[in-house]
Amino acid sequence: MPPAPLFKPVRDVVTTIRDDGSRRFLFPADVSGRFARARRVVAVGLIAVYFLLPWIPVGGYPAVFLDVAHRRFHLFGLTLAAQDLWLLFFLISGLGFGLFFLTALLGRIWCGWACPQTVFLDQVYRRVERWIDGDAVQRRWLAAAPWSVSKLLRRVAKHAIYLVLAIAITHLFLAYYVSIPALWAMMRDAPADNWGTFVFIAAATGIVYFDFAWFREQLCIVLCPYGRIQSALTDDHTLVIGYDWARGEPRGRPAAPGAGDCVGCDRCVHVCPTGIDIRQGLQLECVGCSACVDACDEVMSRLGRRPGLIRYDSLAGLAGLPKVWLRPRTILYGVLLLIGTAVAAWSISGIRPAVLGVTRMVGAPYYVDGQIVRNQFLVRLVNKRSGPAALLVTARDLPAGATAAGLEAPVTLAALGEELRPLIVQLPRSRYTAPFRFEVEVRDPAGTFTLERSLEFLGPESFFDAPAASGPAAASVPPPPAAPAATNPHESPAPHA
């Protein structure tokens, strides 16, 4: 049974969806050329990076290890804690501005060259398909052929490999979140021991398999929001893949008089992975894979004509107008990207491996104990590192006569640990005149970082408070102890809350 004749793409229907809503599967032809080679190099490099990142240790951790269970995020030696989650703002806004800028300048360079969907589909899954089912013509004939032992074996083999690849991809994806050793340990356990993870991996494998085995270009055409906002991000000077209409038209046989360079061989249509005819202009479906560029260049060189009938160019460039790189759009996106990058770098450089928080202890804001004014604080230290840390806490800028108790010894924190320490600051009442500020500083003994918090020392309002008086000061502050709480214990017990 011969396959159905090739569909001629038109702009008012999606090639891959038939009139009855069913799917029209594509069998894109093989293509070779400079962009195909370059894309393969880029894809192999990217896949190597994807696969190696969880394996390369940087500073004792995998290069990228998003340790969700412990809320620690290791990125190339930088360890971020849950307290640093606000930096995610820069990741998301940076991705946004970066994509805006890149798109305004270079169009869908991401889709065609770097998106994991394209990379894995073109360089992994389609290659398996090519290896098992043959080239585009053979694949079309096989798809139309009735079921036979040979066809069944090919289908089983192909989908088994698809499934294995999907399992590998999802496991690698999981390794980013649990690290390779933990992943390996879980893989050797029974599924019931890590039931939630197992179900997640099974579901993710199913999704990846479905995506690459069946869904394919539908993701780019229908689901992916990035493709849908292209028309808002690009303009006439954005680099896109386009057809040189003036040079190509009217189409005609090579020897035909008055004909343009396009010979109407439809090679650009046959190689298109989303099933469009690029000669009909820029379309939503185009993911910028450059297969048609290579295909057309090959035909042109065989005919002895200049390459570039289909090429990377702007719509203005294709129309013969000069290309403008600096445009309000690219300048705005570029400036926003630069500002975002600068602020992000500044913020990341401010990340310290510990957190210092100081609060006033629950109770009165100050105590008057005999001739001493006392303020009580609670120092909270969090060690964000994954090893133990000893931190020195000191109080600075205290006036003469003031003493701070509670910070004499270094505070030892366990890995990722949190400790609370009381900080008692005392000042002779005779020296107290008005509230003053002082600093609490934390540093590690090696002196690699310091953290500071400013605190206010409070005391009785001297205006209301005669030097010898022992009564409560102002109504706004709780009454200090009426009698000096001296050494004698024969005082009445304070009422409990």
Binder of other proteins out of 3, 334, 406, 472 (CB under 8 A): 406
| Among candidate residues 61, 113, 20, 42, the one with its CA nearest the CA of residue 416 | 61
- Using CB under 8 A as the binding rule, whether residue 497 contacts other proteins is answered as yes
Using DSSP, state whether 333 is helix, strand or coil: helix
> Taking contact as CB under 8 A, which single stretch among the options 64-72, 106-114, 199-207, 479-487 is the one that binds other proteins?
479-487
- Using CB under 8 A as the binding rule, whether residue 492 contacts other proteins is answered as yes
**Choice between 338 and 486, CB closer to other proteins:** 486
- Using CB under 8 A as the binding rule, whether residue 372 contacts other proteins is answered as yes
- Using CB under 8 A as the binding rule, whether residue 405 contacts other proteins is answered as yes
| Cα distances (Å, whole numbers) of residue 283 to 14, 15, 167, 280, 318 | 10, 12, 34, 8, 15
Binder of other proteins out of 71, 98, 249, 436 (CB under 8 A): 249
- Using CB under 8 A as the binding rule, whether residue 148 contacts other proteins is answered as no
- Minimum Å gap between C-beta 321 and other proteins is 13
**Choice between 170 and 376, CB closer to other proteins:** 376
Binder of other proteins out of 68, 361, 390, 414 (CB under 8 A): 361
Q: Per-residue x/- mask for other proteins, residues 417 to 456, rule CB under 8 A?
A: --xxxxxx-x------------------------------
Amino acid making up residue 21:
G
Binder of other proteins out of 93, 218, 347, 394 (CB under 8 A): 218
- Minimum Å gap between C-beta 88 and other proteins is 28
Omega into 250 within 30° of 0, i.e. cis?
yes
Binder of other proteins out of 98, 281, 307, 365 (CB under 8 A): 281
Give residues with Cβ within 8 angstroms of 446, minimum separation 6. none
Give residues with Cβ within 8 angstroms of 324, minimum separation 6. 237, 316
- Using CB under 8 A as the binding rule, whether residue 10 contacts other proteins is answered as yes
Number of residues interacting with other proteins: please give it, by CB under 8 A: 56
> Taking contact as CB under 8 A, which single stretch among the options 35-43, 105-113, 195-203, 364-372 is the one that binds other proteins?
364-372
Contact status, residue 327 vs residue 237, Cβ threshold 8 Å:
yes
- Minimum Å gap between C-beta 232 and other proteins is 15
DSSP per-residue letters across 134-182: -SHHHHHHHHHSPP-HHHHHHHHHHHHHHHHHHHHHHHHHHHHHH-HHH
Helical spans, DSSP H, in 53-148? 88-106, 109-113, 116-120, 126-133, 136-144
**Choice between 156 and 482, CB closer to other proteins:** 482
- Using CB under 8 A as the binding rule, whether residue 23 contacts other proteins is answered as yes
**Choice between 23 and 396, CB closer to other proteins:** 23
Residue 251, burial from CB neighbour count under 10 angstroms (0-12, 13-18, 19+): middle
**Choice between 180 and 224, CB closer to other proteins:** 224
Report the site for other proteins in 308-327 (rule: CB under 8 A): 315, 319
- Minimum Å gap between C-beta 263 and other proteins is 15
278: which 2 tokens? 């690029």
Contact status, residue 264 vs residue 251, Cβ threshold 8 Å:
yes
Query: How many helices (H) and strands (E) are present in the chain, helices listed first?
Result: 17, 16
Report the site for other proteins in 375-394 (rule: CB under 8 A): 376, 378
Omega into 181 within 30° of 0, i.e. cis?
no
- Minimum Å gap between C-beta 323 and other proteins is 18
C-alpha 5, offset from chain centre? 44
CA distance 376 to 338: 45
Three-state DSSP string of 236-271: CCCCEEEECHHHHCCCCCCCCCCCCCCCCCCHHHHC
Binder of other proteins out of 266, 369, 439, 441 (CB under 8 A): 369
Residue 387, Cβ neighbours under 10 Å: how many? 11
| Site residues, other proteins (CB under 8 A) | 10-14, 17, 19-23, 215, 218, 222, 245-246, 249, 279-281, 315, 319, 361-364, 367, 369, 372, 374, 376, 378, 405-406, 411, 419-424, 426, 481, 485-497
